[in-house]
Amino acid sequence: MALIHDARSIVSTFAALDIPVPDEIRTAVERSSFRVTHPTTYEAEEALAAAKDQRAFDKAVLELAHAAVIKQMLPEVLAGHVGSARERALRTAVSPHLDGLFAAVCDKYNAAVPAFVSVVERIPDLSGMGLLDISPDVSAALLEAKQTVVPLAKAWAAYTALMKAEGHEVGVQKQAGPAALTVARLGSFEDQAQALRAVELHRAYARGDSGLFLGGLAPHVGIIRVGGTLNLVSPADAFARSIDVD
C-alpha cells in the first residue's frame, strides 16, 4: 500500500511546483481510492426474508453466501489482493514517466539554487554564538534564507515521492549510508574529503546536534557550507558521484 501513498504524494507535491502530472498517473491515483463495496449479511438476510418467489429466494441465498464469504475474507485475503492490484496499476502508470518527472523536478530545484546560495554565502559561521551575538544583517540573511529555501524544499519533497514510487529507500539520515546517498543526489564536490564533510554535516543536522543554527535549511545548506556545488540529479545519475563512507 506504500506505493499508493507515494503516487498520491507525486500528484500533490508536483501540483505545488506547477509541474503537470501525466493523465495516466492522475487516473490511476483516482482509481486507487475506489472503495470495496459489497452487500452485508444483514442486507442479504433481509432480502432472503422478503423473497416472494423461488427465484427471488434463490437469488437472495446466493447474495447471502457472497456477503458471508467476503465478510470472512475482507480483513486479510481480499484486502491484500485489492492492494496488490492497485499497486500494479499505479506502477504501470508511473514507471514510463519517471525519467521525465525526475528531469522536471531537478530543473525546478536547480533553477532555485542560485538565489539560495547567494543568501547562504552571506551567513558567517555561527558556531558558539548566542542569539544576542547575531547582527541585524545576519538576522536578515537568515530570514531570507528561510524564504529562498522554500522552492528547494518543495522540489525535494516531489523528488522524494518519486524515489519512493520507484522503489528507492530514503533511509534514516542519521546513518552514514542513507546520508551519503542523499548528499550525492543533492550535490557535487571537488574531492572525496569534501564530500565526506558534507555527509557528516548532513548527519549532524539530521540528529539535531546542538550549536547548529541552520538545521531548518537542511538538507540543502550543508553542501554549500563545506564548499560543494548544490546541483540535484536523478538517482541514476547520482550513482556516478557516489560517496564511499566505509
Q: Which three cell numbers stand for residue 11?
A: 500528484
Is pLDDT of 225 > 80?
yes
Q: Which residues contact 119 (CB under 8 A, 6 or more apart)?
A: 141, 144, 145, 148
Tens-place pLDDT, residues 92-142: 888 899 899 999 999 999 999 999 999 999 998 877 666 666 788 888 999
pLDDT of residue 76: 67
pLDDT digits (tens, 9 = 90+) for 140-182: 999 999 999 999 999 999 999 888 887 777 777 888 888 999 9
Over residues 43-76, the pLDDT tens digits come to 878 888 888 999 989 988 888 888 887 777 766 6
Domain extent listing, the chain: 2-96, 98-241
Q: How far apart are CA 16 and CA 158, in angstroms?
A: 9
pLDDT at site 124 = 87
pLDDT of residue 74: 66
Q: Are 71 and 192 in contact (CB under 8 A)?
A: no
* Contact indicator for 144, 108 with CB cutoff of 8 Å: no
Statement: the pTM of the whole predicted model exceeds 0.85: no
CA distance 209 to 130: 15
Note whether 176 and 245 are within 8 A (CB).
yes
What number of CA atoms fall less than 13 Å from residue 198's CA on the CB side?
33
Residue type at 164?
K
